[in-house]
Amino acid sequence: MADPVFAYRRRAVVDAYCLQHPAYIASLKSFAAHLCGLCAAVERAADPRAARAVWSDLRIPPGSSKPVLQKMRSTLTLASVHEAATADTFQAAVDAWIAAVWSDWSAHHELARTWLDHSIANEGRPRR
Residue 1 reports pLDDT greater than 80: no
Contacts made by residues 2-5, CB under 8 angstroms, sequence distance 24+: 3/87, 5/87, 5/90, 5/91
Top-confidence residue, 86 or 41 = 41
Contact call for residues 36 and 119 (beta carbons, < 8 A)? yes
Residue ranges with strand state E in 1-128: none
Q: How confident is the model at residue 126 (pLDDT cuts 50, 70, 90)?
A: low
Dist. CA 19–CA 57, nearest whole Å: 20
Q: Which of 76-80, 92-96, 114-118 has the lowest mean pLDDT?
A: 76-80
pTM, two decimals, is 0.89
Q: What is the largest CA-CA distance in the chain?
A: 49
Residue 47 reports pLDDT greater than 70: yes
